[in-house]
Amino acid sequence: MAEHPVMFRDDDPLLAVVRRHALALPEAQEKVSHGRPAFFTTKVFVYFGGSVRRGPGEFERHDTAVMVLPDAADEPALRQDLRFWTPAYLGPSGWLGIDLADLDETELAELLDASYRRTAPSRLVRRLDDPGGA
């Protein structure tokens, strides 16, 4: 099976912002998955970059975006927000994408926090709520 081409620049300043927020979460790590940076604990909670399927074999790339798994209670409202799009492959599992140009850092941090809470083990989520505890 062929390797995915790298679809990011390691020195991208927007990636640096995502890294700063994502890697501040308990035990978060970074890896390259399908040619893009992915941040995870036991499961991925955010991808840097993504794409939208436009037709058979046709994709629109969003190289400076994040793909997140939003809080279930917030998902319906986010789907109504025109800044968000349904990413190829991950969209059917509830993931949403948004271009970083359409976010401020506070919104980015909130989206990463929500996605982290949906994917991280409960012991790590407890650390978010009680940083001095476990």
Look at the chain and report how many structural domains it folds into.
1
Which pLDDT does position 3 carry in this prediction? 81
pLDDT in tens, 18-74: 999 999 999 999 999 999 999 999 999 999 999 999 999 899 999 999 999 999 999
Strand, helix or coil for residue 21? helix
Per the structure, the complete domain to which residue 64 belongs is given by: 13-124
Which pLDDT does position 124 carry in this prediction? 97
CATH code of the domain containing 78: 3.90.1150.30
- What distance in Å separates the CA atoms of residue 93 and residue 128, rounded to the nearest whole number? 25
In a domain, 85, yes or no: yes
pLDDT in tens, 99-133: 999 999 999 999 999 999 999 999 999 999 987 76
- Select from 41, 97, 49 the least CA-distant residue to 69: 97
In a domain, 134, yes or no: no
Mean pLDDT within 3-19: 94
Contacts of 58 (CB under 8 A, 6+ apart): none
φ and ψ of 88, to 5 deg: -60, 150
Which pLDDT does position 117 carry in this prediction? 98
Q: Inform me whether the pLDDT recorded for 2 exceeds 70.
A: no
In a domain, 130, yes or no: no
In a domain, 129, yes or no: no
